[in-house]
Amino acid sequence: MAVPKCKVSKRRGNTRFANWKLAEQNLVECKQCHSLIEPHKVCPNCGYYKGQPVVIKKEEK
């Protein structure tokens, strides 16, 4: 089991995690409906993936 040789102060311990930030989400344009979607995922608006229909949407009556 690892045991620290010296006490680590709160400042030194907290600065280790100070620069962990969330990255901005990468979005690409859908080739069919031109809406912004996450890359490598089926478009929730039109149901296409790489130019081919994958999910067929039911039409509302």
Read off the pLDDT band of 55 (50, 70, 90): confident
Q: Check whether 57 has a pLDDT greater than 90.
A: no
Strand 36-37 versus strand 48-49 pairing type? unpaired
Give the contacts of 59 (CB within 8 A, at least 6 positions apart): none
- Taking only the tens place, the pLDDT of each residue in 5-54 is 999 999 998 998 888 888 888 999 999 999 999 999 999 999 999 888 98
pLDDT of residue 43: 93
Name residue, tokens 């069919």.
Answer: 32
Q: Where are the domains of the chain?
A: 23-53
pLDDT recorded at residue 61: 60
Contact in structure between 31 and 45 (CB atoms under 8 Å): no
Using alpha carbons, list the distances in angstroms from residue 10 to 3, 7, 19, 42, 54.
17, 9, 16, 45, 52
